[in-house]
Amino acid sequence: MKTTFNQIFSNVLELKGKTLTDVATMPQRTLQALRREAAAQVMAKLSTIRTLRIEQEKKALEIQAAKVGMSKKKPSTVELEPTKSAKPKGQAKKFSLAETFGLNVPKSVTITLNNHNPKHPLVPKADPNYVFRSSNVSDLCTFLQLEGETFMYVYGPTGCGKSSLIIEAAARMGIPLYVVTGHSRMETPELIGTYKLNKDGGMDWIPGPVTAAALEDCWVLIDEIDLLDPAAVAGLNGVTEGRSYVVPETGELIVPGPNFRIFATGNTSGAGDKTGLYQGTLQQNLAFMDRAFTAEFAYPDADVEVGILEKVAPTMLQEFRERMVKFANEIREQFINGQIEVTLSTRTLVRWARTASFYKAAWANAKGAPEPMLHAFDRSLGFRAEKESRQALHEVYQRHFGTI
């Protein structure tokens, strides 16, 4: 099949006045169009071959039936195209939500997963300082336990813990996880699979992260999916329902495993961004979004964020941690109201706390050193703001932390 595609692809290039050398420098969209043209010719050829084979099989059966004196029977269906089915390597395991996620629930509350495979290289490394929130874990576990649900969409403000929940859950439960970050130029073949040049100048088909996860019977996470062209994600409609699908370029039938799950995150609900806060996001295809188990995440409550800072910056005074969270919430409110173009997410808050603790320890005996908290704040968020906004941030900082 690869040889056939390579030959046809070379013919398509020749008709366009191109060579294999030109492939490395041509725009991605042009290359994708040429690949699709070659794939269409391959599929047409496969269809012809299939018809010929069926006719040959029918005649052979008729001859065989005549020889043994049997009446003609309808030939059995023969699968002419290759099929790839998921082959799980993990085991079933029951997890206590209290012990696995550190939640304040009875130990008897459990969830069972069937592809526990902790030695797999794609199982993420757990962050020992990560704090799970019961509401978010509840959404995730509900989704995992619902029969027939394959696709979960999580949206919320930047840095509120959307992706980290999926990554940390996979780490704790030993689930292999493919992670891909969406962008405006991403197309469906990048997720399903595409042809790439090999060292011999030919083309090899490489499974995309969605197909790889389907065959591994594990999870795939598509970050920032609302940045994608709606037509690109609409190409995943069937896949998000867990159905088998055919790869057009190869004719292979992909049969996902029962534990295959697609997770996607975005800053919007999929209906577009009317606030202007998240540039580049697009309104997504309604049919695609209708297939999703959807959850909205928000920033953690103040006491939860203080607890997070206590884990990542244990040497910091509790009073400072509490002030940081109050300061963050005021900045977030200004961001939502359009008064400032940056916001202090939980992710940025953690970076600020870690950086401030580092500076404080490093400059403990240094004379004339900058104030650690403010110095760390500018390098975590302040320098991302325009000068006028940075001045406004410093004024808010002064109200919470004193003289600058």
pLDDT, one tens digit for every residue, the chain (404 residues): 445 667 776 777 777 777 777 776 777 777 777 777 776 676 666 666 555 555 655 555 555 555 445 444 443 443 445 677 777 677 889 999 999 999 988 989 999 988 888 999 999 999 998 999 999 999 999 999 998 899 999 999 999 999 999 999 999 999 999 999 999 889 999 999 988 888 888 888 899 999 999 999 999 999 999 999 999 888 899 999 999 998 887 888 999 998 999 999 999 998 888 777 788 888 998 999 999 999 999 999 999 999 999 999 999 999 999 999 999 999 999 988 888 999 999 999 999 999 999 999 999 888 889 999 999 999 999 999 999 999 999 999 999 998 65
Write the CA distances from 340 to 103, 334, 336, 390, integer angstroms: 35, 6, 8, 9
Q: Compute the distance between CA of residue 177 and CA of residue 86 in angstroms, rounded to an integer.
A: 15
End-of-domain residue from the set 22, 55, 80: 80
Same domain, residue pair 231 and 247: yes
End-of-domain residue from the set 256, 281, 296: 296
The pTM of the full predicted model, rounded to 2 decimals, is 0.75
Same domain, residue pair 247 and 360: no
Q: Compute the distance between CA of residue 157 and CA of residue 248 in angstroms, rounded to an integer.
A: 37
Q: Compute the distance between CA of residue 194 and CA of residue 187 in angstroms, rounded to an integer.
A: 10
CATH number of the domain that residue 277 is part of:
3.40.50.300
Amino acid sitting at position 43 = M
Q: Name the 3-class secondary structure at 194.
A: strand
Same domain, residue pair 154 and 243: yes
Nearest to 162 by CA among 115, 103, 225: 225
Q: Name the 3-class secondary structure at 88.
A: coil
Same domain, residue pair 151 and 269: yes
Q: Compute the distance between CA of residue 117 and CA of residue 213 in angstroms, rounded to an integer.
A: 13
Domain that holds residue 47: 2-80
Amino acid sitting at position 241 = E
Same domain, residue pair 75 and 89: no
Nearest to 328 by CA among 351, 348, 357, 303: 348
Total domains in the chain come to 3
Write the CA distances from 26 to 15, 23, 30, 232, integer angstroms: 16, 5, 7, 21
Same domain, residue pair 100 and 131: yes
